[in-house]
């Protein structure tokens, strides 16, 4: 009878999780690996201070529900992390524990209790988006007579047309955007997912003119480079958008009171598609959402906006109606 396989130690399991499971088997993006790495760096430092064990001496059984709950509480109270960050850290721990459960059966009771820790619910902020006139004012704001202005016009138009994330648009190469024949942008999204989005005529015209102005329009070069020809930084896109918004306030003074980021442009794309009657499933594909459920937040935001409009349109003389529970049991339920 063959000898049973030795149970791997916690340090060995963690190394295999990152190298074999995440890196080779699942082939996740470097950004995901970095996020998971930071989670475990924080956890191991916390565990050493909490239970007095160095990371190399930890056992899988030490990662029980009590320790993880204390760690999550530490993230919120000491490090001032919000519910989103807390949930992202917990998701990383869950992924490791599910992997570890297949390799250390003796720790299953501890793992099951830890996996039962729920994600924290949180209120989603109301989505901010721009009107069509406001968006157009921002698109028209950069000075097309300058190199940076022409680039910014093409950049913002492509962002609005495709709903691209900042990481997607600054990573575009010249060969990723076709403007001859069927105009389309091939975007490389989160989780190495790719999608192709058709371009409007105005966007196609701007991109075509911009390509002619590039010093080296080779297909492998960045479509929207910085002054040095390299990849633009996220902060650079944000800064250029702020300048365009500032210029657009002459036509729309209300923009000065709003916080507008590159992600606002993405929300604007989704809302304008929705208001034009585009199906929610098509919008999910357009934006590169993994699940159409993510896209439903735009539907909810649109309904909330319409409800507020309806309330403003109600006759001012009409007395507000208030629901009155019919009995004590209903009163109790309403009080919860």
Reported as a single tens digit per residue, the pLDDT across 84-123 is 899 999 999 999 999 999 998 888 999 999 999 999 886 6
**Residues 293 and 172 grouped into a single domain:** yes
Among 225, 237, 236, 283, CA closest to 264? 237
pLDDT for the residue 215: 77
What span, in angstroms and rounded, lies between the C-alpha atoms of 166 and 88? Answer: 21
The pLDDT score that the predictor gives to residue 298 is 58
**How high is the pLDDT of residue 151?**
97
Report if residue 181 sits inside a domain: yes
Q: Are residues 88 and 231 in the same domain?
A: no
**CB-count burial class (<10 Å; 0-12, 13-18, 19+) for 201:** exposed
Look up 296 and say whether it is catalytic. no
Do 179 and 278 share a structural domain?
yes
Residues 63 and 177 placed together within one structural domain of the fold:
no
Tokens of 237: 């896109």
Which residues, at least 6 apart from 120, have a Cβ–Cβ distance to it below 8 Å?
83, 86, 87
* pLDDT value, residue 252: 94
Short-list 68, 209, 237, CA closest to 147: 209
Please give the chain's pLDDT, 336 residues, in tens. 455 578 889 989 999 999 899 988 887 878 888 899 999 999 999 999 999 998 989 999 999 999 999 999 999 999 999 998 999 999 999 999 999 999 988 889 999 999 999 998 866 555 578 999 999 999 999 999 999 999 999 999 999 999 999 999 999 999 999 998 889 999 987 766 788 999 999 999 999 999 999 977 788 899 999 999 999 999 999 999 999 999 999 999 999 989 899 999 998 998 898 888 887 778 888 888 765 555 656 555 555 554 554 454 445 455 555 555 565 545 544 554
Q: What is the residue whose two structure tokens read 């069927």?
A: 182
Q: Residue 307 sits in a domain of what CATH number?
A: 1.10.443.10
Cα–Cα distance, 124 to 297 (Å, whole number): 9
The predicted pLDDT at position 1 comes to 45
Query: Which residues are within 8 A (CB) of 281 and not within 5 positions of it... i.e. 6 or more apart?
Result: 292, 295
Do 143 and 76 belong to one domain? no
257 among known catalytic residues: no
Catalytic residue among 89, 165, 240, 252: 165
Q: Give the strand order in the sheet containing 194-198.
A: 177-178, 184-188, 194-198
**Rg (the chain; Cα; Å):** 26
Single residue among 82, 115, 148 that ends a domain in this structure = 115
CATH number at residue 88: 1.10.150
99 is catalytic: no
- Indicate the helix (H) or strand (E) that contains 277: none
Q: Is residue 327 part of a domain?
A: no
pLDDT given for residue 299 in this prediction = 57
pLDDT at position 332 is: 45
In a domain, 4, yes or no: no
**Shared-domain flag, residues 251 and 149:** yes
Q: How many Cβ atoms are within 10 Å of 225's Cβ, its own excluded?
A: 17
Quote the pLDDT of residue 328: 58
Candidate list 89, 266, 267, 272, residue with the active-site label: 266
Choice among 103, 251, 263, 296 that is catalytic: 263
Same-domain pairing of 147 and 98 = no
Q: Is 120 a catalytic residue?
A: no
In a domain, 334, yes or no: no
322 belongs to a structural domain: no
Structural domain includes residue 120: no
Residues 137 and 176 in one domain: yes
Q: Are residues 139 and 286 in the same domain?
A: yes
Same-domain check for residues 169 and 298? yes
Which residue of the set 74, 190, 195, 211 is catalytic? Answer: 190
192 and 303, same domain (yes or no): yes
d(CA 231, CA 220): 12
Give me the catalytic one of 36, 99, 160, 298: 298
Q: Sort 102 into a burial class: Cβ within 10 Å, 0-12 / 13-18 / 19+.
A: exposed
Would you say residue 139 lies in a domain?
yes
Strands (DSSP E) along 134-273, which ranges?
177-178, 184-188, 194-198
323 is catalytic: no
Rounded to two decimals, what is the model's pTM?
0.61
Q: What integer pLDDT is reported at residue 248 of this predicted model?
A: 96
77 tagged catalytic = no
pLDDT at site 277: 83
Asked which of 73, 89, 115 is the last residue of a domain, the reply is 115
User: Helix and strand tally (H, E) in the chain?
Assistant: 14, 3
Range of the domain at 172: 132-313
SS3 call for 50: helix
Backbone angles phi, psi at 326, to 5 degrees: -75, -25
Shared-domain flag, residues 47 and 149: no
- Tally the domains of the chain: 2
> Of the candidates 83, 115, 147, which is a domain's last residue?
115
Does a structural domain hold residue 27?
yes
């Amino acid at each position: 009878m063959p000898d049973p396989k030795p149970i791997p130690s916690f340090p060995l399991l963690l190394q295999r999780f990152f190298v074999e499971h995440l890196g080779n088997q699942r082939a996740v993006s470097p950004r995901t690996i970095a996020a998971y790495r930071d989670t475990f760096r924080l956890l191991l430092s916390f565990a050493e201070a909490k239970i007095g064990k160095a990371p190399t001496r930890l056992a899988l059984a030490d990662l029980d529900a009590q320790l993880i709950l204390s760690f999550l509480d530490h993230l919120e109270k000491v490090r001032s992390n919000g519910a989103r960050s807390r949930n992202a850290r917990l998701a990383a721990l869950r992924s490791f524990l599910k992997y570890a459960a297949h390799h250390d059966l003796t720790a299953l009771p501890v793992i099951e209790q830890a996996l039962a820790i729920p994600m924290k619910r949180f209120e989603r902020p109301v989505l901010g988006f721009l009107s069509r006139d406001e968006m157009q004012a921002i698109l028209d704001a950069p000075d097309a007579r300058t190199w940076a202005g022409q680039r910014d016009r093409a950049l913002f138009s492509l962002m609005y047309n495709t709903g691209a994330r900042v990481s997607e648009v600054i990573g575009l190469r010249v060969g990723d955007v076709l403007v001859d024949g069927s105009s389309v942008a091939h975007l490389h999204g989160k989780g190495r997912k790719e999608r192709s989005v058709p371009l409007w005529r105005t966007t196609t015209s701007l991109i075509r003119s911009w390509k002619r102005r590039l010093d080296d329009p080779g297909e492998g070069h960045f479509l929207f480079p910085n002054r040095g020809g390299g990849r633009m930084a996220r902060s650079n896109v944000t800064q250029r958008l702020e300048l365009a918004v500032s210029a657009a306030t002459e036509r729309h003074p209300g923009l000065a009171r709003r916080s507008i980021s590159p992600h606002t442009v993405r929300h604007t794309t989704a809302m304008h598609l929705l208001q034009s009657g585009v199906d929610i499933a098509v919008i999910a594909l357009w934006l590169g959402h993994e699940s159409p459920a993510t896209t439903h937040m735009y539907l909810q935001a649109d309904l909330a906006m319409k409800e507020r409009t309806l309330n403003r349109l109600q006759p001012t003389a009409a007395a507000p109606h208030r629901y009155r529970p019919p009995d004590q049991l209903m009163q109790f339920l309403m009080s919860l």
